[in-house]
Amino acid sequence: MTHNIWAIPLQLTNFNLVVAVLGGFISLFGLVSYLLKENYYLSEALIALLAGVAFGPNGANFIRPNDYAQCEHHGVTESDCSDNLHSITLNFSRLVLGVQLVLAGVQLPSKYLWKEWKAVFLLVGPGMTAMWLATSVLVWGFTGRPSFLHALAVGACVTPTDPVLSAVIVKGKFADHNIPKDLQNLIVAESGTNDGLGYPFLFFALYLIKYVGSGATSGGAGDAMGLWFAFTWGYTIILSIIYGAVVGWVAKEMLHWAEERNYVDRESFLVFAISLALFVLGTCGLIGTDDVLACFIAGNTFTWDDWFRLETKDDSLQPTIDMLLNVTIFLWYGAVIPWQLFNENSVMPIWKLVVLGILVLILRRLPWVFAMHKWIPQIEEAKQAVFVGFFGPIGVSAIFYLFISLEFIQDHLSDGEDKPREDVQKLGETIRIVVWFLAVCSVVVHGLSIPLGKLGYLAPRTLSRVVSENMSDDARVVERRRKVPLIGSWLAGLSKGEPEPRPIRGPIVIASARPIRATPANRIDVSGTSTPRRDREIRFPDEIA
């Protein structure tokens, strides 16, 4: 078949579309990123998620997950398509979590986990257990499933707090002005630690479902608990802690050695933490241990002496890579979220999902953090306890455990044809729908909480001040009224029935019959004696209360 040589060589391939969309979105977002994040306090995760919906199959269809999973290829079954899509999302989530958690470990002060182990233990021990049980009870009540073990598996997926979404309250202008540094560090340490500690909660439920559930054919509670202690705690948790600590310590010593001899250039020095994350992620994946927890431990051990953290404190390479990964993963999530299943499923109707989402965000974490805050030194006040209790976002880590659960169901709770056991036929669908929906709720609610909270706090005060100023004829408010001529004139006319005044185009000169002079204290006085310096406002003495 010959082609017209004069034809325009359009190449509408998936690669070109994805690169164009990703680059265009990040560029446009970057142009207003400071305005959105630092002035309006909007999280990049929320913006990227909405963009993923707009560019995905439910929108412009520029991002086509089914094509990347080879769903349209000849001979690829629906099950194969689903497996490929799950594998892509799982590994992408692993990558983002691994890099995020190494960077989270690096940003903590020297020996932080050792020094503050009591506060961290309260949050990841009793705190996580209470979060797990509270969420499981809510899921059990709304799904109406006969087995509470199924609800425990769902609750375990959303128990860890997400380090990606937690960044909105530990980074940026809002965090610097409103969150004490000690509390920021505690939030980082908790989100990093509990991400990897989701395994014991999840596999406690999954092993019991396998050996004690109504469809169990062999074994019993003894086998389930034996696996849970030996494999989950021993091989998955303890091994990952030891491995992460050893790798982080060796990496720190090697980098010290190379830096002292001037063997490493600045670029390689800055990117060392990223490469460490990739190494730990890959090697832990090869041996099948907890790569998420190992990455956090490796990052914290790597900066145990605070040297690397202080050396890279003012560099922007790590935050830049962090931002690129965050935006990309939530773009992907926006495209792959099963939106239609929220309304068309056999688990629960959409209104129940909405009510469940509201109750989970309120009851999953807030009551337990508030109850424990007196024993956590970093939480000094009740309002801080409410704030920390509310901001326990559900995000990338929940999606990670979602696909870990689906893999377990397929590998250990199904027959040779990948057909789930009769008692768990609805478990996969329940986990998929509930976890995805709760993640969406958390991204939206936690992404909008700060801007809406600031708006609700400032709007009444601003409106009250504008109304009171425009109802006054005092010359002191004329200048401030000039700064908002439209609102000020409208409110003045509304309150007094006067015609709208002409805009003032020159500086305001306020005449006074009294002699005035400037004093060394930058104050205006009317007599020969200067007044002591109390502030830097220019006022008459008789105007001071």
Q: What is the pLDDT of residue 254?
A: 97
Q: In b/e form, how buried is each residue of 294-328, taking b as 16+ CB within 10 angstroms? A: bbbbbbbbbbbeeebbeebeeeeebeebbbebbbb
**CB neighbourhood size of 9 (10 A):** 6
Confidence of residue 473 (pLDDT cuts 50, 70, 90): low
Q: What is the pLDDT of residue 515?
A: 46
Q: Calculate mean pLDDT across residues 508-535.
A: 44
Confidence of residue 137 (pLDDT cuts 50, 70, 90): very high
Q: Calculate mean pLDDT across residues 438-453.
A: 90
Angle at 120 between CA 118 and CA 123, to 5 degrees: 110
Q: What is the pLDDT of residue 188?
A: 92
H/E stretch holding 524: strand 524-525
Q: What is the pLDDT of residue 527?
A: 43
CATH of 14-460, one of 3.90.1310.10, 3.30.70.1520, 1.20.1530.20, 2.130.10.30: 1.20.1530.20
Kindly tell me if the per-residue pLDDT of 269 is higher than 50: yes
The closest alpha carbon to 469, from 455, 453, 451, 487, belongs to: 487
Q: Where are the domains of the chain?
A: 14-460, 512-545
Confidence of residue 472 (pLDDT cuts 50, 70, 90): low
Its pTM stands at 0.83
Q: In b/e form, how buried is each residue of 425-439, taking b as 16+ CB within 10 angstroms? A: eebbbbbbbbbbbbb
- 212: Cβ–Cβ under 8 A, 6 or more apart, which residues? 149, 220, 221, 224
Q: Are 334 and 421 in contact (CB under 8 A)?
A: no
Q: What is the pLDDT of residue 463?
A: 58
The Cα 60–Cα 37 span in angstroms is 26
Q: What is the pLDDT of residue 457?
A: 58
The Cα 99–Cα 274 span in angstroms is 6
Kindly tell me if the per-residue pLDDT of 173 is higher than 80: no
Q: Which amino acid is at 485?
A: P
Q: Calculate mean pLDDT across residues 13-42.
A: 91
Q: What is the DSSP letter of 124?
A: I
